[in-house]
Structure 1
């Protein structure tokens, strides 16, 4: 089983209008409410790939009930921890004629010590053969050590984990040997305070993450494709041709494709191929990609050993 953790899920309230005029009354042309969160995106892609997953996280209040109702439309298996404070709302404003998108993200609920412990207790059933994917921001009173605590707990229980975060929070988990980490090339450069001049330098610094404990490193490079770096080899996936409609969720989709395929095949090359397909397919879609789109994009991707 794959478990996805979205610590701070949201209702994404997406508003579309021609122009955003600050300081004035604006009227929308269209609006939609979506269940948001990086781990939720991962679970949705896994559903398309017909890989079982269970979504974990904190939900609370009237907005938490609404979030679960929106999520129920996607027929995902969930085991959320209920909290007293409200699940957050993120507002995303798309001004079409100005070609600008503005986001206002809520902070999310405060998590009490009791609620935190209840969440940790919910991890007790995870064990050997399972993969836990941790993705996204934390609630305002949880520090980066929360991800480390989760990683230590599930490692003791024999499960693998994937962490999609950056900075010190990522580096702290490397000695626990995450199955895969996925910085983009800018995030990788920031980790080591360097600027990359070429692909080989990206590979060199990706291997530093392997030296610190990661089992596989994926590096997304937007229009230049993506890299998979292992101890002794590096592979590149080309960027398939297509119109980027919405890059939100593309990285989550890449992780889902890799982890879901690796769960079934234990083949990192095939997992990389599927991860690249899922990421690009979502980038070419209004929402998270559907299976037909993933299958089509998969055919346009080739993996080259460097």
Structure 2
């Protein structure tokens, strides 16, 4: 069982347009509404592959009720914690070349009592779980050390803790010695204080994150694949995508694939890369199922190409809906 926590979930409306023109009437060619937020996406991807998962989400107002209903429609076991604030709504405008323009609401504040009840819900849900994954930005009013505090309590229970966040929340979480962190290229640079321009830079940054407390670092590099650094050593791989439709949620799918490999015995980096690439080929924030995943396209050389210069953000997961 893999439990996910999304402190700042959302309703995500994706609108496809032929061309985005500012200040003009833009007609949609397609639209869809999905439950959103990074941990929510991890659970959605896991559920689509038949991996047992439970999603803990604070829910407020009619949007929170709709979020819960959408998740249950996807067969996800939801622990919905009623809170005083509102659940946010996000909009993604997607152009044919894969360019995504996002408008994210900040989300409602979580009061201290709300946060305490959410944390207790996670600890209850974690009974017998293999992993607890805390993903995404912290809503207004939540202390930067919240993930770290939760991680320490989970460590006392013997439950592995994974974190996919950014900024001070990620930095504080490293002190709780998480079993896994999944930064993207931008978050790697922010964490270590230098630019990530090559695969070697990414590897060095991942080593520094391990020295700061993380047992394993899975760093997504957008179009340049991912670096995996753990106690076994260093691996790098990629899964090229000829024509991407949306990068929203690609990093979440990558994390889900990595975690699912631990449940099935598959190669963890191959699963991570193939699930992430599959998400890029899908519209909006749709999560890939088994028929979407192409493991034959994954390339994991025996020796990482450390001199490789990283390209632009074509498949960079900086557009993930979590942040």
TM-score, reference length from structure 1: 0.89
**Structure 2 gap segments, 5+ residues each:** 304-323
Instruction: Determine the C-alpha separation between the residues in 2 that align with 1:80 and 1:254.
Output: 25
Q: Which moved more, 1:280-289 or 1:120-129?
A: 120-129
Q: Which residue of 1 aligns with 2:184?
A: 184
Instruction: Determine the C-alpha separation between the residues in 2 that align with 1:45 and 1:250.
Output: 10
SS at match of 2:92: strand
Larger radius of gyration: 1
Instruction: Determine the C-alpha separation between the residues in 1 that align with 2:131 and 2:113.
Output: 25
Q: What does residue range 253-264 of structure 1 map to in structure 2 within 5 Å? A: 253-264=253-264
Deviation, 1:24, is 5.8
Aligned partners of 1:210 and 1:231 also within 8 Å: no
Q: What does residue range 88-103 of structure 1 map to in structure 2 within 5 Å? A: 88-94=88-94, 101-103=100-102
Deviations 1:121-167 (A, max 9, x none): 21333246520011112221213222122212211211111100123
SS at match of 1:33: strand
Instruction: Determine the C-alpha separation between the residues in 1 that align with 2:26 and 2:224.
Output: 38
Deviation, 1:205, is 2.2
TM-score, reference length from structure 2: 0.84
Q: What does residue range 280-291 of structure 1 map to in structure 2 within 5 Å? A: 280-286=277-283, 287-291=286-290
Q: Which residue of 2 aligns with 1:134?
A: 134
User: Given the superposition, is the C-alpha separation of residues 225 and 28 from structure 1 closer, same or farther in structure 2, using an over 3 Å criterion?
Assistant: closer
Instruction: Determine the C-alpha separation between the residues in 1 that align with 2:95 and 2:264.
Output: 42
Give the root-mean-square deviation of aligned CA atoms: 2.3
Aligned partners of 2:137 and 2:166 also within 8 Å: no
Aligned length: 300
| Equivalent residue in structure 1 for 2:302, among 282, 302, 305 | 305
Q: Which residue of 1 aligns with 2:62?
A: 62
Q: Which residue of 2 aligns with 1:123?
A: 122
Instruction: Determine the C-alpha separation between the residues in 2 that align with 1:121 and 1:185.
Output: 32
**Structure 1 gap segments, 5+ residues each:** none
Instruction: Determine the C-alpha separation between the residues in 2 that align with 1:34 and 1:23.
Output: 27
